[in-house]
Chain A
Amino acid sequence: MFNVKELKKSILVSLWFMFLTFPIMVIKVNTIYKTIEWRWSRMAWVGVGSFFLSFVWRALLRKKEMGMKQAEEGQEQKVPLTQKLIHDKRFSRPALVIICAFALIYPLVFSLYQVNIMTTALIYVVVGLGLNIVVGLAGLLDLGYVAFYAVGAYSYALLNHHFGIGFWTALPIGAAMAALFGIVLGFPVLRLRGDYLAIVTLGFGEIIRLVLENWNEFSFGPSGIANIPRPGFFGIQMNLHQVHTYIYYLMIGMTVFTIFVVRRLQDSRIGRAWMALREDEVACQAMGIDKTKTKLSAFALGATWAGMGGVVFAAKTTFINPASFTIWESIIILCIVVLGGMGSIVGVICGALILILLPEYLRAFSEYRMLMFGAVLIFMMVFRPGGIISDVRKVYQFKGLNETTKDQ
């Protein structure tokens, strides 16, 4: 491992980095005194840091290549640790109990601020699971997903503003509106796949945002809608702390509901049709799967969760404007799905928690957020192309003759 060649490579990398970062890291012009500060110590840090990182990077790459070679040589591929843990009941049961208990006592232990960001993260979990239906299961790359989130949020805000409709009535209406928009988007893109689909959905997302921004009479334009009421609880008056705790529990309930439904969908007939459609459209048609209905249902069911998430988002922040629904949001949600592991529920949950909570806790580094985002994405592409927890589908177990004899 520690041969001269490797050392040389790392030294070259670190020299290159020192050279590249020289202007921004070392030179500092003091504009008041018109002097130049030379911060040489920083250069040393860059050198040492990049030296070690390049070493670790290549060690990891080698390890990965070795793993691939083993797999190619036909050896039994190791089941990744995460999957082993998920499928081992002795581990997963207690873990589930602990997670549930933690989720339930969370607001009692942590401050209002913590509860708030956790609620936000849970909204992203729900929305991410919705997008997972479209992207992960049905394989339709949707870059305009935030549009449905906006539809949900604006449904509640506008219905409340004009007709005084409450949160609980607005929740199903927002979900239905989003599903309707999902179908509206679905029809024109039925024949598209891959890149073309991505471009059209991206355009769709921007159209919705631009309409909300410019149609002042309808949506109050860029100034948005304020004073959206928080969800009520049988008309009981609650203070700020109580109401946020209440929204938190509401989101926990909604997350559990979402997980339950998405799991059922995955194992259902339509879920299998989505997965088959992702792999081969012609074969699907030859098997009698209705392509139109299957695709539209993926769009509609995916959008439903975004709509519900949008309603909760509007109720939680009590103020929405089009700036909350930019393309950037779509990309974050897509990152949640892709980073977490397409098609995997646990993966999407992990992805949402990491991508939403991490930046909150790293507020100090907020300027480097984008940099870290990029770095994390590249790392994932190279080392875990399947996501943090890649999709493990349920495998049918038919106990035939061979298998029973093998078991004995």
Chain B
Amino acid sequence: MLELKNVQTFYGNIQALKGISLQIAEGEIVTLIGANGAGKTTTLMSVCGIVPPRAGEIYFEGQPIHHMPANKIVSLGICQVPEGRRIFPYLTVLENLDMGAFLRNDKAEIKRDLDYVFSLFPILAERRNQAGGTLSGGEQQMLAISRALMARPRLLLLDEPSLGLAPLVVKQIFEIIRKVNSENKTTIFLVEQNANLALKVAHRGYVMENGKITMTDTAANLMANEEVRKAYLGI
């Protein structure tokens, strides 16, 4: 469904991605783990077109998207939940969700998706008229995920959804991620520093270091791998 071929991305003169190649098949949950500064966020930004790659190719369902503007890519069915949530703090919860459906016109379907995300996160329904910035960290993450779901993406990109959240909330959010994947067949590309959690929900994983992919395998094999265990699982 998504394929990256030797993608190289720069911030000015600094090369953040040094030739990334990876594949994601439809219906999968694939995780990308790595230390801080490895280039995980940059990988997602390159896929989304927010920080377009300087070299290499990205294909979504066979179609090249590496030269497309960000808004075109979203309209193809790729939506990102950015790192640090980035909800709109002064818009209400409903308005935030509405922004997620910005490119859609089908009112009835939007309403249905709204009910769906409210069923996933009932707390958001209670807070619907509250400003996004007044929500707790966990609720903001739920809102960020729901906002992305409102775009009805076929490929959902999640950037460190566990960042700075209490373990119980993280558990809840990861359950929802799994549920969205199994119920809607939404393909999920999950970026995480918390390798333990990520490998538990994912089918396959990639390990990233200094802008390069160093390892790839099924999640179970990565969990069992000695190096991964030492470097990322702290065992």
Q: Does B23 lie at the interface of the complex (its beta carbon under 8 Å from any beta carbon of A)?
A: no
Q: Does B214 lie at the interface of the complex (its beta carbon under 8 Å from any beta carbon of A)?
A: no
CA A396 to CA B165, docked complex, whole Å: 29
CA A400 to CA B89, docked complex, whole Å: 23
Given known pairs A282-B50, A396-B95, A398-B128, the reply for A287 and B102 (CB within 8 Å) is yes
CA A324 to CA B169, docked complex, whole Å: 60
Contact among B81, B82, B92, B102 for A288, CB-based, below 8 A: B102
Q: Does B161 lie at the interface of the complex (its beta carbon under 8 Å from any beta carbon of A)?
A: no
* B residues in contact with A280, CB < 8 Å: 86-88
Interchain Cβ contacts within 8 Å, total number: 85
Given known pairs A276-B88, A289-B71, A396-B95, the reply for A282 and B82 (CB within 8 Å) is yes
* B residues in contact with A287, CB < 8 Å: 74, 79, 99-100, 102-103, 147, 151
Q: Is the CB of B80 within 8 A of A398?
A: no
Q: Does A283 lie at the interface of the complex (its beta carbon under 8 Å from any beta carbon of B)?
A: yes
Contact among B69, B82, B98, B103 for A283, CB-based, below 8 A: B82
Q: Is the CB of A272 within 8 A of B86?
A: no
Of the four ranges (under 10, 10 to 19, 20 to 34, 35 or more), the interface on chain B belongs to: 35 or more
* Cross-chain pairs A/B with CB under 8 angstroms, 30 sampled: A269-B102, A272-B95, A272-B99, A275-B88, A275-B91, A279-B88, A279-B90, A282-B50, A283-B82, A285-B48, A285-B50, A285-B70, A286-B48, A286-B81, A286-B86, A287-B74, A287-B100, A287-B103, A288-B70, A288-B73, A288-B102, A290-B69, A290-B71, A291-B71, A393-B95, A395-B129, A396-B92, A396-B94, A398-B114, A400-B128
Q: Does B126 lie at the interface of the complex (its beta carbon under 8 Å from any beta carbon of A)?
A: yes
Please, what's the 1-or-0 string for A286-310, where 1 marks a CB less than 8 Å from any CB in chain B?
1111110000000000000000000
* Most B Cβ at <10 Å: residue of A283, A285, A287, A395: A287
* Most A Cβ at <10 Å: residue of B73, B87, B91: B91
* B residues in contact with A400, CB < 8 Å: 118, 125, 128
B35 CB to closest chain A CB (Å) equals 22
Of the four ranges (under 10, 10 to 19, 20 to 34, 35 or more), the interface on chain A belongs to: 20 to 34
Q: What does DSSP make chain A's interface, helix, strand, loop or mixed?
A: helix
Residues of B within 8 A of A (CB): 48-50, 69-71, 73-75, 79-82, 86-92, 94-95, 98-100, 102-103, 114, 118, 125-126, 128-129, 147-148, 151
A395 CB to closest chain B CB (Å) equals 6
Q: Is the CB of A286 within 8 A of B50?
A: yes
A133 CB to closest chain B CB (Å) equals 17
CA A282 to CA B125, docked complex, whole Å: 25
